[in-house]
Structure 1
Amino acid sequence: MKHSLSLYQDFGPDPVACRETGHYQREYIEGFVNKWDELIDWESRAQSEGNFFINMLREHGARSVLDVATGTGFHSVRLIEAGFEVVSSDGSPEMLAKAFENARARGHILRTVQVDWRWLNRDIHDHYDAIICLGNSFTHLFSEHDRRKALAEFYATLKHDGLLILDQRNYDAILDVGYSGKHTYYYCGTHVSVSPEYVDEGLTRFRYTFPDHSTYHLNMYPLRKAYTRRLLQEVGFQQVDTYGDFQETYRDSEPDFFIHVAQKGYREPIS
């Protein structure tokens, strides 16, 4: 697998002007990827989210799952251990290499494919019962054209009654109220600092500081919840249910993350 030789993240002379979808590959350099699991903390993450995704997939009868934002492999490994057939993909070769290494250490061999979501069907030829796109990954897409293209590719890769589970940070709260970052559910590492360094309607620039004082950044597009739901519906998903930090009922400003569960299956219109 090809590795990036870059030792430092490069956002150019004006980092907050860096708003390009393809830039994420240069953000996930090897040094950052090797520290990512300090941020997640696999054991604490498993306890905090419980069996939410496993139960959701089982309730919809899913067996085959395409993990399109594998990262370091946390959800792929959990789903394999729960009995699902999983293919693990990511746009970052560094992340896929780390995921493969993490899975192998736990006795599993991941089926990995490096993909760009905008051309998913170029590299992924099978159809799946479910697709998961987790870890706030969808917010790496900076243009509406790219977001619609990616969702259309997801839709086409699902079987006729397939399910897409896509999450995002609560950018509504970040934009309108301010960042809280409780780290209760998603980022469970206790010694890693995560906070927005810059925020506007078109960019949230996050800073990640680790115990050894190393610092990395990610530039993300601040998706509003209603906008994401609308895109999912306009692409063709028949029903979209949105959870806040794994809860069905919540106040919009409270969750750190929203989880959209989008069903492809055709439903007769109500007359």
Structure 2
Amino acid sequence: MTRRLLEINEQDYGHNPTEVRETDKYKEEYVGSFVDKWDELIGWDARAESEGSFFIDILKERGVERILDVSTGTGFHSVQLLKAGFDVTSVDGSPVMLAKAFQNAKQHGFVLRTVHADWRWLNKDVHSAYDAVICLGNSFTHLFKEHDRRKALAEYYAVLRHNGVLVMDHRNYDTMLDNEFKTKHKYYYCGENVSAEPEYIDEGLARFKYIFPDKTLFHLNMFPLRREYTRRLMQEVGFQRIQTYGDFKETYKADEPDFLIHVAEKEYLSEEERDEQ
């Protein structure tokens, strides 16, 4: 199966692409030819500059040492965190992405510790406890069913130490659904002359198209997570304190950010502390 996925280079959504709303589809979406261009899409240098030390500071403030990067993709955040001195284990559900991440890390002087795992059964393949789980790059939106989202969050929760933290982001889908798509990919997608925008969106699907300078075209079908819905799911799974940033800022107008970043802490709060949130 892994060899077959590594060799496939064309995406296939059938005759009705907007009807493809399956969690497992992501395994076929990240074909080799798309993964080869992924770093061109995100632009490592520009992304590092736009993020600054935001994630490093968030993690260090909470005394984090061991991190599980559950959506490593081509390895950008894993490499940045390794450079900052963290102990990182990198996970992805796509073997094609993991292979690329390992290659990228090697070019930066690191041997990446990788695990091929599905989030819904994360603890079947990951057996250690971590201070933090990060799920970045709009990755959680690959889960189309609510029971899949709840299961994945529960797996994140279980792999964390008693005072662990989950850092997870997603696009500002509220603005896309309620207004219109206005992102300038100022933060996350920084590749030069690369277009990343929705081709179709409704309450159950955000279908993005990615056009590269050589005119090659790829798509991703994702679930449009709303801000308050995501926060509620985290709380219902057990996370106690949740702070949401907009494009790395604590205060922002609802329709301004391109991305929302949730920092969810596991440490137990008293009733009084919960009432103060």
- Classify the TM-score, shorter chain: over 0.9
In the alignment, what sits opposite 2:225?
A: 223
Give the alignment partner of residue 187 of structure 1, picking from 189, 192, 196.
Answer: 189
CA distance in 1, matches of 2:179, 2:225: 15
SS in 1 for 2:206: strand
Q: How does 1:89-108 map to 2 (within 5 A)?
A: 89-108=91-110
SS in 1 for 2:170: strand
Are 1:70 and 2:69 counterparts? no
CA distance in 1, matches of 2:216, 2:71: 24
Structure 2 segments unaligned to the other structure (5+ residues): none
In the alignment, what sits opposite 1:36?
A: 38
Give the alignment partner of residue 86 of structure 2, picking from 59, 81, 84.
Answer: 84
Contact 2:9–2:34 under 8 Å retained in 1: no
Q: What do the CA deviations read for 1:54-91 (whole angstroms, capped 9, x no partner)?
A: 00000000000000000000000000010000000000
CA distance in 2, matches of 1:57, 1:129: 9
CA distance in 1, matches of 2:151, 2:2: 26
Give the paired residue count: 271
Deviation at 1:7, TM superposition (A): 2.0
Give the alignment partner of residue 133 of structure 1, picking from 132, 135, 147.
Answer: 135
SS in 2 for 1:65: strand
Contact 2:67–2:86 under 8 Å retained in 1: yes
Contact 1:199–1:205 under 8 Å retained in 2: yes
SS in 2 for 1:61: coil
In the alignment, what sits opposite 1:233?
A: 235
Q: How does 1:53-68 map to 2 (within 5 A)?
A: 53-68=55-70
Query: In structure 2, what residue type is equivalent to 1:2?
Result: T
Structure 1 segments unaligned to the other structure (5+ residues): none
Contact 1:87–1:110 under 8 Å retained in 2: yes
CA distance in 2, matches of 1:257, 1:16: 23
**Which one is further off, 53-62 or 181-190?**
181-190
Deviation at 1:191, TM superposition (A): 1.0
In the alignment, what sits opposite 2:157?
A: 155
In the alignment, what sits opposite 2:126?
A: 124
Contact 1:181–1:194 under 8 Å retained in 2: no
Query: In structure 2, what residue type is equivalent to 1:253?
Result: D
Give the superposed CA RMSD.
1.0
Contact 1:73–1:102 under 8 Å retained in 2: yes
Q: TM-score, normalised by structure 2?
A: 0.96
SS in 2 for 1:254: coil
Q: TM-score, normalised by structure 1?
A: 0.99
> Identity across aligned pairs (percent)?
62
CA distance in 1, matches of 2:167, 2:244: 10
In the alignment, what sits opposite 2:265?
A: 263
CA distance in 2, matches of 1:180, 1:63: 37
In the alignment, what sits opposite 1:200?
A: 202
Runs of 4+ in structure 1 off by over 3 angstroms are none
Contact 1:232–1:262 under 8 Å retained in 2: yes
CA distance in 2, matches of 1:252, 1:122: 38
Contact 2:194–2:213 under 8 Å retained in 1: yes
